[in-house]
Amino acid sequence: MSQQAKSAMTVSEAAEVKSFARPDEVRKFAKGRLELVKIGGATIGRAVFEPGWRWASSIQPIAHTKSCEAPHFQYHVAGVLRVKMDDGSEFDCKPGDVSLLPSGHDAWVVGDEPAIVVDFQGMVDYARETASGR
């Protein structure tokens, strides 16, 4: 077995446990927050969207894009998140749902309960302020 294969095997066989109770990074934005943990070479995000949160009003001022360009692969933990794709299709994501959202969407919380999602893709740069204000 090559040294490279042994190194890859060692990394992939190492057990890791992380907790959102102690995230590696927290990003706060209007009516919400994002908690990030880095594990196994991946970045996983837990987003908490408070009632009244909407991408267009909370994140668009940071992202400076027409709609959300981050693709998402999410497990919906709590609350209801309504998603409207740029093509006009609209649907609700509820607790227990798994969603795969391509670039080009808006989303908002429906009701009085926070929407909580765990996102396995798309949160690395989500709601990140940059030097240019994005």
Position 80 in a domain: yes
pLDDT in tens, 93-105: 999 999 999 999 9
pLDDT higher than threshold 60 for residue 7: no
Position 14 in a domain: no
Q: 125 or 11, which is more confident?
A: 125
Residue range(s) defining the domain that contains residue 71 = 19-119
CA distance between the termini of the chain:
46
Task: Report how far residue 10's alpha carbon sits from residue 18's, in angstroms, rounded to the nearest whole number.
Answer: 19
What is the three-class DSSP state of 20?
coil
* CATH code, domain with 31: 2.60.120.10
Amino acid at 30: A
Q: 131 or 91, which is more confident?
A: 91
Kind and range of the H or E run holding 10:
helix 3-13
What pLDDT is stored for residue 87 in this prediction? 98
Position 13 in a domain: no
Number of independent structural domains in the chain: 1
Task: Report how far residue 58's alpha carbon sits from residue 106's, in angstroms, rounded to the nearest whole number.
Answer: 11
Position 1 in a domain: no
The whole-model pTM stands at 0.86
What pLDDT is stored for residue 122 in this prediction? 87
Task: Report how far residue 3's alpha carbon sits from residue 6's, in angstroms, rounded to the nearest whole number.
Answer: 5
pLDDT higher than threshold 80 for residue 106: yes
What pLDDT is stored for residue 110 in this prediction? 98
pLDDT in tens, 10-38: 456 789 999 999 999 999 999 999 999 99
What pLDDT is stored for residue 134 in this prediction? 35
What pLDDT is stored for residue 24 in this prediction? 98
